[in-house]
Amino acid sequence: MALLKKSAPLQSICTAAAILLLLLLSSYSPANARPVVVATVPALAQIAQAVGDIDIDVKTLTSIGHDPNVFSPRPGHARTLSNATLLFSVGFGLEASWLPSLIKRSGNFKIIPGSDGYLSGGDAIEAIGVPRGMSSQQISQWSPDKNPYWWLDPEMGIKVAHALAIRLSELDAVNAERYLQRATAFEKAVKERLPVWRDYMNIHTGVVITYHNTYVYFMEAMNIELGGFIEPRSGIEPSTRYMDDLLTLIREKNVKLIWVEPYNNRAIAQRLAGAAGIKMMVLPDAVEGYGTEGYIGMFDLMVERVARWSQ
């Protein structure tokens, strides 16, 4: 007992020393550690990879096929954010239901909105206005400041890539020049493909109806006219009269295709397509692939799929 009592202070000192050592080891950050960029959606991760390549570590919160509007983060996502140097988000309210609480849970105050460690699409671009071809009734339901799907416009992707390059240059001055060069290379690669995509779309696509407003940026970029949305207000079932009006519009404007997002209910779109005798197709909003190749691959797949379904 006496021995135990005597050794108690020694044990406490040893325990404290061990804890201190562990804390020091866990917070140790080598001078040459790469910045960690956490993107909220896969396409943004590809833009970050294109700009940062080997000089950064890129992680993604949502996976391909997940609806970023209603994503349910897990504890692992908070841990991912806790080590982030830069949080790269879409913005325009897309992640509003889950990202603020996830940032808070991560305890990483370097990545809160407004800080150097946070970059969103809203910091680099403006949401597009009312798309071409919309009726006055549709315009009244349109919220131009609420469409967040900018990464589906290649030119918007280029603008944001440059903004990301500048931000990374500020955070990691040693590799600043490389980030800016890669952003320029990304722009060049995307712009080389853009005329090809537009030509394909001009040949294969007329007026199109979509389920939600997800593809409006893509349509603007490819000069595709939007006929209308099946569900103008997300989550609110359209009326039968609205559906019958869409049927009339399909006949009047000779619409041949309905585009649906991978994560939306297809039954209503299928019903409309069946009633009108046209086709309904699911269009991706992200594909597997690394960096510039992956980002360009997404447009290649979209264009190829639209061309195939239009025949």
CA distance 102 to 99: 5
Q: Which residues of 216-246 are buried (b: 16+ CB within 10 A; e: fewer)?
A: bbbbbbbebebbbbbbbeeeeebeeebeeeb
CA distance 302 to 298: 6
CA distance 239 to 254: 22
Residues 68-107 that bind another protein (CB under 8 A): 70, 72, 74
C-beta closer to another protein: residue 29 or 72: 72
We find the least distance from the C-beta atom of residue 192 to another protein, in angstroms, to be 29
**Contact pattern from residue 269 through residue 288 relative to another protein, giving x for each residue in contact according to CB under 8 A and a dash for the rest:** -xxx-xx-------------
Judged by CB under 8 A, does residue 199 bind another protein? no
We find the least distance from the C-beta atom of residue 241 to another protein, in angstroms, to be 5
Q: Rule CB under 8 A: choose which of 7, 11, 15, 63 binds another protein.
A: 63
Residues 201-230 that bind another protein (CB under 8 A): none
Q: Which of 234, 300, 262 is nearest to 65 (CA)?
A: 262
Stretch that binds another protein, among 20-28, 64-72, 143-151, 174-182 (CB under 8 A): 64-72
We find the least distance from the C-beta atom of residue 156 to another protein, in angstroms, to be 25
Judged by CB under 8 A, does residue 263 bind another protein? yes
Judged by CB under 8 A, does residue 290 bind another protein? no
As a three-state string, the secondary structure of 124-167 is CCCCCCCCCCCCHHHHHCCCHHHCCCHHHCHHHHHHHHHHHHHH
Q: Rule CB under 8 A: choose which of 55, 57, 59, 64 binds another protein.
A: 64
Amino acid at 91: G
